[in-house]
Structure 1
Amino acid sequence: MSKSERIKKLVEAGRSKYIVELDRQITTLEGTLASLGQSYDSGRAQDIYRSAHRLKGSAPTFGLNRVGEIAEHLTELWEWSNQSPESGADRALTSILSETHTHLIRLKIEYEIARNQADLTVRESLWERESIAKPGRLLLIDDDSLLRSYLAEQFQVYGYEVDEAEDVAEAKRKLYDQPYDLLLLDLMMYPQSGYEMFKFLKEDPTMRWLPLIVLSGREDLKDKVRCLRSGADDYVTKPFQFEELEARVYNVISRARQFESMAFRDGLTGVFNRRYFDHQLLLELEWSIRDDEAISLAFIDIDNFKAINDSYGHQSGDMVLQGLAKILQSNLRPTDLLARYGGEEFVVLMPRTEGDQAKLVIERVLSVVRSETVASTTENQFRITFSSGIAEWRLGMSHAEMLRRADEAMYQAKLEGRNRVICHS
């Protein structure tokens, strides 16, 4: 099945699911409206606004433009409830409820039309491009489960890996567990709005440069400016065409990767370089001091590396460095920061990790290195070991002192026979 055929099936399936969800939403709105007709409740008024806002943003994505227009009228009618809900008792609620009832009748008509359509009109022309092998890993943060699921499936067709989060709290947990190439963030969520994510990302030095695209049902200049000044890479207003959104995601990830490669990556191994590591070390220490959490650092130095260069040439030495970097990347934890510090030295920063824990992590990696061929040519296979020193940050210790202690522990490991990990006492 071609990509176009797969996407067509997804659109059809997504629209079918959405029509079922639309029926549920209309029934819920009718119940809420009836309750408000008996007595005013600010929470129920906000429920109507949030439901309408959600429909306004998602319905046109599935081709239900009329539903989106009706939902927009409802959003405007109840927007006051989101800004000053307690003022509802002073408003002409009878008139508002009557107008809302009329819009709900129109919604039910549109639902019946959509449900009875035998042949759905789907988009035939898709923006075709050659996808890269791994477009990227996305975290999609939206409290609209149906739209979120639909977008996730669409991105997966294009080769992206996608994780979903229904609110800010779940997104934070997933960000600590898994690295992402880009976040897609719905701005209007409940109970915490998308603006909470900006604050969280800005305060965490390991995530402040993570690309982010805002998805919002509000065509509001102040929102756009606020998001872009807060660090958003793009702002996309619902409703949107998926092909346009995917193109924006692709371009943001591509630019971020190019910038990162030029500024922060070691040209030989592809891991972070010393410049980036020194910068991140200072930020991570600030974060650890503020939150009173442990942080450790490991120096790693390849044993007898000079002999490899002298006996087999620098090209073989480069292959060994590349092979070790690959093993380190594959076996360290997602929260660990790996960099090439110079020559045959690598360094690993381990946030929220005590010295003894860090030692176990590096010993496990060393065990993998011992058992594998790190590089090979037609004539030779290279197996290596390394020596490592661990330093845990202590109160009053500078970043330079922490580096010095890890370096001293690494040289102690060399003196004791290499092929081991020592934690600075």
Structure 2
Amino acid sequence: MPRTTDGNSIVLKQLVEGNPVATFVIDAEHRVTHWNRACALLTGVSAADMIGRSEHWRAFYRTSRPILADLVADGAQESAIGLLYHGKVRPSALLDDAFESEEFFPAFGQGGRWLFITAAAIRNAAGEIIGAIETLQDVTERRRAEAALRDSEAYLAQIVDGSSVAMLVIDASHRVTHWNRACEAMTGTLARDVIGSNGQWKAFYPSKRPIMADLVLDDASENVVDRLYHGRFKPSALIPGGYEAEDFFPHFGENGRWLFFTAAPLRNAAGQVIGALETLQDVSERRRAEEALRESEERYRSLSQTDSLTGLYNSRFLHERLPGELERAVRYGRPLALLVIDCDDFKGVNDCHGHLEGDKVLQNLATVIGQCLRRSDSAYRYGGEEFVVLLPEADASAAQAMAERLRSMFAVQETVSPAGAKICCTVSIGVALHMPGDTESSLIRRADEACYVAKERGKNCVVLEASGA
């Protein structure tokens, strides 16, 4: 490793340990010098079993073989690396002396895990390779979800400039000490414009305010963090004293970007906080995918509740909703009316004009029903040419008035066939009022019986059930 003071070595150790991405470092003799908690969690191998040894291959493979960090530490060329990682390795687009690979490890977890691996050379002041750093990111879920979440899971941080994830570091005075190339690309702010200053907020917010790393550096309480990130943050599950959050940054990209960011404290040997690091990942695609999923679920829910011909609710949704309306009527002692509407002589329409014209008649009836509804009312196609309307807060007179208005409006409605024939239909309507002890079936049955009476009276009329008269 490069010559450093004790304090800087501690900071380097904290950078590795504070990285939420599985990270380890080897020296020129291929001995492990750092093996962070995330790496131990991912591989199931503790740092105590790795530090000082050159058997890190055991964490990944059944037999001895060099891993990507070994090849990079040896200065291997791309062609040589390709012999072990054929078709699965490429030079890093961000870093010199670094390679990236994606590989499946069948022994990890249940059913194996896909890992995205980055290995970068570490050089001394003379430019000699003296080791390598390797990070491993679990991309199994991205692999499984493929295109849906491909761009939504940005890779978590490697250490500072060895990271392809946006990362920044601040010291105890809140001055920026590191601002890597990935952070430049994400924020559009160059490292030279921010390093040495405490203007890190300018890359993220329009006015001065602490970023998450500032809050962690000041050991802010959850209440303080909550004032700035209300409902959008939580304490880190991996790093004591750290936080993670998701927030929207409207000035990033063309239409703004959603970022997932983590902040963790850096401590010296005495345990004092001497800085903080923050990593940022673009999760806009995941957010868009989640929104698309919510919209898809809403469309499915709408389709499952709606009659495709008329656009009214279907009978299944009536049976979901009616019990709740009955319970409300009982609990609060409020009136509830139900209409059963039947299109008169509808079979004759189908026989004379065909089913397509019959469908148009039902669609026109559904339109008239919709025009008569209040905001609290709801209408359902119960089956065939029969419809049901629920009228909360409607007594006998209100229900009869609404039914009569519906009947008269539909009686003058004309449906024109392709041949130019004008089809006119009427409806018979039965009205039932909720009574103590009513069930879903008893209320519908009484309205249906009233509708049958309307048919017997010559059709095209409204009949209130006998108990409500």
Q: TM-score, normalised by structure 2?
A: 0.40
More strand by share: 2
